[in-house]
Homo-oligomer: A and B are copies of this chain.
Amino acid sequence: MIQLEGSHILSVNQFDLDTIQTIFSVAQRMQPYALRQRRTRVLDGAILGNLFFEASTRTRVSFSTAFNLLGGHVAETVGSGTSSLSKGESLFDTAKMMATYSDVIAMRHPESFSVQEFAKGSCVPVINGGDGSNEHPTQALLDLFTIEKELKEKNKDINGMNIAMMGDLKYGRTVHSLSKLLSLYKNVTFTLLSPTELQMPQHVIDQVVNAGHKVNIVDKIQGNLEHADILYQTRIQEERFPSQDEANKYRGQFRLNQRVYAQHCHQDTVILHPLPRDSRPEANELNDDLNTNPNLAIFRQADNGLLIRMALFALTLGVDSQLEQHELPVNWYVRK
């Protein structure tokens, strides 16, 4: 169990199982507040520095909403052009400044390890909202949290489950981070389904295998999804392929729609995707006809992201035990 109060959240490598369970248990307690059934003002007056040097509406608004739901204010910076970084300021100097203004900082930046560099200059907790191709730890946590919740609904457990990861496993950082977190559990079977060119990197496979899990590397859907408890779909990035023809050939093999699901998955297979999904016809890795499939969990993932980020704010700022002491009634219309 690591100390979360006053700590930076930079990498999935920071977490052990106890810490993860602590985060998930606080996240679960956030649900009535996220659903507006209850309301807390435990962070009233606190300020989140929400620094998005790279655009990402989903992640940015998820952080800001999580903070607002705990009662705090958000100071937002979007885009690198608006920053002193473009005038040559170091990440260290930017951090010294932003830490003066904020009680906690969420940061996304296009360069790998930039958030870690930034954190060195900050005396307040920094939460990594994605540093280039390196890490996106809150995404990995919300993916894992979603898997745990979805399996629980079906009386299953992460220990012993079968997960299929599909698509671009080489460049998709979310599947790398999720695999590392799953390594902490017992007896997981990984089915890694991708074009040969886009296979999971060997160092991730090694970590999983060394932790005692089973890994199947395959390159087509047929016969490989029927035992999947979880199917984690990703985007195939066509710019990775030598030619458009080749890209089209592969893409056709990894698209998921209601017909493919019915034919190749079992009736309980839960579908995840890191979002956003590309709905343009030339991509279409997750067809809209799955929207009515109750096992499509992608919109519940967004809800869970909010809970995880609320939990991380409460834990790093040490207010997780005080939520109920700062409650006020909800006055307004609550969605059904």
Contacts and interface: CB of A to CB of B under 8 A. Distances in A.
Interface of A: 5-6, 36, 39, 41-47, 49, 55-58, 61-62, 64-65, 68-69, 71, 73-79, 81-84, 87-90, 92-94, 96-103, 123-125, 275-280, 283, 288, 291, 299, 302-303, 306, 316-319, 322, 326, 328, 330-333, 335-336
27 contacts: A6-B333, A43-B331, A44-B331, A45-B330, A47-B68, A57-B84, A57-B94, A58-B97, A65-B75, A74-B75, A78-B78, A88-B283, A92-B288, A93-B276, A93-B279, A96-B299, A96-B302, A100-B302, A100-B306, A101-B306, A103-B335, A123-B335, A125-B333, A317-B332, A318-B333, A322-B331, A326-B331
Nearest to A43: B332
Nearest to A71: B45
A93 B125 CA distance: 32
B335 A318 contact: no
Contacts of A62: 101
Contacts of A302: 96-97, 100
8 A-B pairs closest in CB distance: A88-B278, A89-B276, A84-B276, A55-B82, A318-B333, A90-B279, A65-B101, A317-B332
Given A6-B333, A333-B319, A328 B283 contact: no
A45 B36 CA distance: 9
Contact of A77 (B57, B96, B332, B336): B57
A81 to B, nearest CB: 6
Contacts of A303: 100
Nearest to A88: B278
Contacts of A44: 41, 328, 331
Contact of A280 (B56, B88, B291, B316): B88
A323 B302 CA distance: 32
Contacts of A5: 333
Contacts of A46: 332
B93 A69 contact: no
Q: Of A88, A100, A275, A288, which is in contact with the most chain B CB atoms at under 10 Å from its CB?
A: A100
A275 B326 CA distance: 39
Contacts of A77: 57, 61
A288 B97 contact: no
B306 A319 contact: no
Contacts of A328: 44-45
Given A55-B82, A65-B102, 19 more contacts: A6-B336, A39-B45, A43-B331, A45-B68, A47-B65, A49-B61, A58-B84, A68-B73, A68-B75, A73-B73, A84-B275, A88-B280, A88-B283, A92-B291, A97-B275, A97-B299, A101-B306, A123-B335, A316-B333
